[in-house]
Amino acid sequence: MRVVVTGGAGYIGSVVTEVLCQRGDDVVVYDSLITGHRDAVDPSAQFVEGDLRDDKLVGLLRGADAIVHMAALSVVGDSVVEPGRYFRNNVVGGLALLDAARAAGVPSIVFSSTAAVYGAPQHSPVDELAPAHPTNPYGATKLALEHALAAYATYGIASARLRYFNAAGASTRFGEDHRPESHLIPRLLAVAAGEEHEAVLYGADWPTRDGTAIRDYIHVLDLADAHLLALEWCRARPGETIAWNLGCGGGFSVREVVRAVERVTGRVVPVREVGRRAGDPAELVASSAAITAAVGWSPRRQDLDRIVSDAWSWKQRVGRYER
């Protein structure tokens, strides 16, 4: 299968590209490198630098069997400060990609969406029938493109919209290197490595088992496996569209993650407690029953210590990509 991975130089994109190459697919990574890293592109893949709104995209997509669309700005706080930038990049750029795919005759798209489309859900675990009410512009941009993908089914384009919960961990070769870093596990590992003095804990008075927020962490390799299954689902169902949650169905509190990092690294991680962040839910845990029923996917690496250990091993071995 010939697959174009937009955003394939990013964290999750690098691992998805890696597993596609391991499967023997012909993979083209298309990335602007605004937030991605050239060193994070699997050497077996062809790399093309470019923006989603570039005229060359139609020619690049001709002959592709599918697109895995992962290119997006994705920092929630930044989206609140610069919503226009997020809508231009994620929505306008995404629509340009859909039109290029239609013009090139690409039959299917697997889309990297997010649990942020749910906002602050009233019930947990969250399934795909829960109302989608994003509480920040980032989630709103992802939901907007989900709606567009569903509408583009009328053109015969099949799509699977994968709503990630908290991606974490690493493969042997590729890991997480955001600048600045906003995700909990790599921030804690930076403290364990002596790169930061302390980690910040947002809110210790949530209505949870230990007062800290609970999130569903999913290993990035389990996410990558789901993309392979979603590609096959799309290939078998021309013009159909589906949305699936990707999570482990259980959650860990911030304090539990801190303790896991301390266990794995053998180092104390100082934490400073501050107030809650506006818009954060107390608990966000996925029900992934729908994708399990449809294609048999289930996470195989959901042990928290395994997730942290893989991220720590990558950090010690690689640490950061060159810029």
Active site residues: 138
Q: What distance in Å separates the CA atoms of residue 54 and residue 210, rounded to the nearest whole number? A: 49
CA distances from 270 to 168, 175, 197, 199, 211 (A): 21, 24, 7, 6, 17
27: amino acid identity, one letter: V
Q: Which residues contact 304 (CB under 8 A, 6 or more apart)?
A: 217, 252, 256, 257, 260
* Identity of residue 161: R
Can you say whether the dihedral through the CA atoms of 95, 100, 106, 112 is positive or negative?
negative
In this structure, are residues 140 and 222 in contact, taking their beta carbons and an 8 Å threshold? no
- What phi, psi does 237 have (nearest 5°)? -135, 70
CA distances from 74 to 78, 264, 279 (A): 8, 28, 16
Per the listing, tokens 């590729």 go with 174
Report the half-sphere exposure of 146 (CA within 13 A, side-chain side).
Answer: 23
Contact 259, 188 (CB under 8 A): no
Q: What is the bridge-based pairing of β-strands 166-168 and 271-274?
A: unpaired
Beta bridge partners of 114: 164
